Structure 1
Amino acid sequence: MTSAIAFSFARAGADRLALQDVLLASPAPGGALLRDLARAKGHDHAVRYLDRVWRRAVRKTGESEPIRERRDAVVALAELRTAIEVFPWAGQAGQTDRANLLFRLGMCERSGGMDHDVSQRQLALGIGASESTVKRSDKRLQAAGWLWRVQRGSSEGSSKWRLGRPVGGAVEVSSPVDHHRQGGHEAPGYLDGVNRRQASATEPAAPSQDPAELDFRLLSDLMGRDAFRARGLGRTCAEVLSALAHRDGQSALELAASTRRHRATVHARLARLLAHDLVVKVGELYHLADGVLDAPAARPQGNRMPAWRPADRWDDVAAELGVFGASYRQWCLYAFDRIAAEDVYRRVREHARPARPAAPITEADHEFLNAWSDQFEHTTTAMAA
């Protein structure tokens, strides 16, 4: 909490003395830790602790301009979206981390700031993943500097988060696949992938820093649909569709370069998309099928419950693959968990000892106390005599 407050002060252009006055000299709830340190170990110890927190916050915000109005926040969000889109996310974990950030970024763009409230269960439904997968993704993003948790969630509300950017090379940016280097069998197909893996054991491919060319807003919307879950079309199919939405009419090799995926993987995903009439092949080029983007990719805002019966083309594809209803079942499971948790919290509150306030003393109580005092003094005097 202290780090988050220091970060906000640094982004707003305030100085350390202003932060010290707010946290130490005022009864603000955010300064409870510093005031406890000052009482236990002295004022100087609390000030030294605050200095370390302040230096870390200034270092984190040193390469960005302070946000003083909404226009600055919009510019910062646009810069962050560019940074997320050009970052070379590698592997399945990278796909999950990118989907995680894109979902959070969409919430921040609607609210107009880096701060947002979201639970891990809500995030899991939004990107079509399990809760454990989202927890691992949040830990990776926090360690890399993309994400800060301002306040831990409770039974009364979701966690409070803030988006950030890695500063000073905090993240090792490298892509494990070089799409311009072809080793082993030159023809496209699964044999190329086998030989590439055998060749990479002795001579690894050089890393490539070229960004993916995708329609990232469409990709973020597709991630929450049942059709693109792990047992359905998969995330790479969503990337292929997003690449074609960004630039229609690409060959398989061009799609491999656009999605930053191996061409054997792209060939397999294109065959799956062709089987469901989502793309069409004209010569060596692939195009989006007519009406694919006419169906709404994202659920309507404010509708927290996923559809329980097919509503558009994406739901029909999910029903053909046998994965439709996964989001609805997951939502029901989370709802039952919340009901069970609320029941536990209720029983704990009922068994807890209530904090009973002291009863006020009435006039009758004063009369009784005065009479009892007079009788006590009279008895004591008689016994002494």
Structure 2
Amino acid sequence: MPPFDVPFDLPEGDPFGPHNLPYGVFSPSGSAERTVGVRLGDHVLDAGAAAAALGSPYVSLLARPSLGPLLAAGRTAWSDVRRALTAWVTVPAHQEAIAGLFHPLSSVDLHLPFEVADYVDFYASENHARNVGQIFRPDAADSLTPNWKHLPIGYHGRSGTVVVSGTDVVRPSGQRKAPADAAPVFGPSVRLDIEAEVGFVVGTPSELGRPVGLGDFREHVFGLCLLNDWSARDIQAWEYVPLGPFLGKSFATSVSAWITPLDALEEARVAPPERTHELLPYLDDSAADVEPGGYDLRISVAINGHVVSEPPFSTMYWTAAQQLAHMTVNGASLRTGDLYGSGTVSGPSAAERGSLLELTWNGRDVLELPDGKRTFLEDGDVVTLSAWAPGPDGVRVGLGDVVGQVVPGGV
């Protein structure tokens, strides 16, 4: 008999049922050994041990301390492994062999599921970009910069500070200068913010000098996850002219412990918003043979358990396929484990803004929370990003949460 109940008979509509099966890396309680796991309900299946128990050829991809080998194996392997896993958890003949290989989520430690190679972050929400433009350039004729409708704007970030959900976020210190100050001062950020985003995980690498076209997105991108692009707005404001974000963003980027494969999100695919400007050919996704590039992901942002925003990812102007095409069009190569963020997800209404910068209009408006007022984050605040997407037969596909608590930093 297995040592605990196994999740073969999940409640109807469980968002982490066999239709989902996101991947992560875990350690059983009390063990330092890491291995690939697949989430089913509130349990995690030791995928490598299951492959070994069933004599599967995918042991070499799954009995690993990282998702790296599976990511590098390519799309055919991704689909084959997913079909096998689905059979293992749904076909009664397999259940006895793997029943003892499930662990309750409450009994395991979750880790960063892959080694992050390069990290790029974009700025793909028109609603967010317009809000930011109105905040910082209120007298401009157009709140968007002249290039915004012609290319996905982005910047290269710091891969070494991407951390898994549950990791504390130390309040960063740096230079800041208010408009009325005669000189900059140094100290902890007083305008610490979040950005609700979606991260895309690259599996198959590409050759240096060979751009990746729109139609090759699914050959290279394995899956997606929620991402919190923590931002020190005061540090960022002083440093980012004339270049882009630097210390104001590089201190921490939080990602989910669970990577949802693109194959689990077929029913969530939607067309992006209507294009208002003609696009250059490498970004033009209007052709009939180009698959819909948007995803209908419903995101919630909570501070200390209180939901403050629900940004809809379906409103993003630039798609993940366009972002991939743009960041490789100059010949830059992809590496297994590359991660790129969508940019802040914001919808058209005030209740759908994905950052405190927008929700409080740069501190002008106060958020009323059950535990007090906020303009930006205070030490001790816990930020939680959660999301779901439409799945087969009306069932939801759950995305793994991203949780981070702000802790004081030294000067």
TM-score by length of 1: 0.21
Instruction: Name the structure with the higher strand share.
Output: 2
Q: Which has the higher contact order (CA 8 A, sep 6+)?
A: 2
Look at both structures and tell me which one has the larger radius of gyration over its CA atoms.
1
Instruction: Name the structure with the higher helix share.
Output: 1
TM-score by length of 2: 0.20
